[in-house]
Structure 1
């Protein structure tokens, strides 16, 4: 179960549609027919017009994003091929597309909709004021329900609510005055690979003052030591001087030394929500046995293990679990530690099938644009080597189920001041190149070297190429009495051409500047909060809305007007 609160603007929109005899928030699925994406038939068909289409898209991290589609993205068609029985939404090729099998929320007006006695819905009218008052109270109720929903989860609860959640795990917030100290864990020089130190690791001094680490700590292969905060086991735990905390209660493989560089101190404030949340998560993983999380986190604590994926019912047989391990250091010693830990943590009566993540071969192509006039041939070889090393490490470190993202790879390369722009293409043998690529839950990348550098150009050379972009406008309007849609269209076409011609690096494109530029009180009034501008440049596009985003054209860039879609609203100005 999940809960997504509606905003005030969404509630007002739906109430307006309902008051004018429209259908609100009908849920329809997206289908693929002949290479084009269409929706299921709308229930109250035939349809006169569609006023709103939205998709709630969930990414791999579970984050929900609302995607709004405008008339520039879709058209209303009849599934039987007639001209009158409009009942289906079809998305235009080359425009913004919903995900396959996703569910859309649609507001629309059926042909059979009854006329409404409410005619004055303008801002300030009695009907509109009552409706907006009701919408405000509904929005506040949704926000209250959202707060209640989030208060039940460790990741989102705050304050007293978080205290109650962590109490279920036997964890309490550290009050002000608790003794805390930073302890440093140092690696044994003979122990390469990754070393994980779990939360609640106990360190003591000669007087048996016991301190527990507050979060898990990972020593990467290139790190010789790291520090982590520890707190006294009880409020009365004695304070310690520098260097006195030097004994581990339980030996950790690969750790040569532990100590506190500075003396302990009493905390001046109670533990923060973020620190408490992190400590509670670590404490939960550390004490469990016989669960999926116990297996996963227990194996991740072994030096040399990069990632772990646990699959329940791998063969559709109850009582079986498959554990797929990806190694950063694949040695017989590490494999033995993995087998021993599985035997220690597995649930009683459960058969654990050991395996390792499948290797997915991957070839990489890179295009580079270098700053200024570029670099010399001798320097170019070193630049390619550093570029290859950075991308190869990023791809090799991705865990099973992870995603290689163009934005992250570009950021890694652009950290080099010699690189002005970069594009990375990922190629699985036998398939087309992709900019982003996701792994299955049991896969890791096997990166092939050397990389292919398909194009390396200097910035001054690249700048000589012509740049152009196209703009599509969606403009909801209220017309002044006596003005026709054709007259408004003609006036807007001229105004928009002049507006695009005036845009440049110091005059970006936005709905705000558009509204000021095309304002014409003698002909129409723009419904500004619903207007959008879609910019297309090459293979990319971006959508601008009121007070949301702007597009800055490059020097010398030509902007063309692709389409002007008017949405004439009922009621005059």
Structure 2
């Protein structure tokens, strides 16, 4: 179904011709039907001259040009379309003719020359009529989300409680952490206020729920009204307090600095967001699930539809099960899963598959001094935290440096920077990649030793991990460090 973008289409030239013809007693908008088999189209009454023809060409209103598209044949009292001129569309064959009568016109107004009283009055009236038609069209368009623009669009989407995002308020993400003793779901309402040590206030822009067993969740925030402009731009780890405590939340922090959103949200982006909000009201539609994943921080998300591809039924997912493949920071995966599960319908299982490359190193680490058992355990935990933080900061699609001569300092150098560590070396290295293609292995881990490369960029044999300098990461995949304290061998001096 084609959306009609205009209620009334009456260009100025068409209106002024109709008014002039009507004022002189002529015939206005006589309707004729175009037929490719016909050469001429007789008029209903004898005509002295034809003023103009209008119709539709290429799905657009068109004013046919005399002598180029058509001519008037007085002998036949008919309009004739010229061979090389434009003609009405076959899908909209109706066209309209304005003409002056050969006799019987009773109007005393006959002077249509430029500057005449008749012509001046007609053109003045036509200008106001054409403007009125434009205003009617604008009012008509302002009621539809695909046609409204500017302030009119703001009013249309307001029914969904959607407001245009402005670029002069800083925005960011704040992570809420659950207390150790809390159980069950914890809902953080929209509008929850947070504050920095310097007194800058932020408000959450959507309601989120920390699910049972979920340790943390990311929630988008926006600077409060009083902190418009640069005042709302703060550095990472500065939004650390709740003005009104939320039961079950131990602490909050922003891992990234807040940023300005640039220009105000465009009409196209606002339409897309409003439509997504409307679709999200119907749980477990594909669009609702995708919108939930993106809202929670997934950079890319796609759904493996249960019934596609149609030609290969063996690749369909089980009834009642949907597979969603996402590209998301590992630290935000739990938040994506929680919001997707909140949007799904009862009885439908959503299997979330993330594009991850899992890196499992085993290390031999030489210590600078002898430590107690508690001290050794703490050093192992510090190493795991340092490796996890280092890899998390690389982002998706970026190689993970293991050691020099990699382009940057690697995991081994990061470990060696810890106070009690003298040096570190790889004893073993295992790498897996999540299967995201549409087959019966989707979501499983498969070994990917070919991603381990040496200084020359060629794959390294698993038997010689000491030669490895980098782990290559495919585009749209995130690296994830998987290491346990037992994987770290400590060598005392």
TM-score above 0.5, yes or no? no
Structure label with greater radius of gyration: 2
Question: Which band: TM-score by shorter chain?
Answer: 0.3 to 0.5
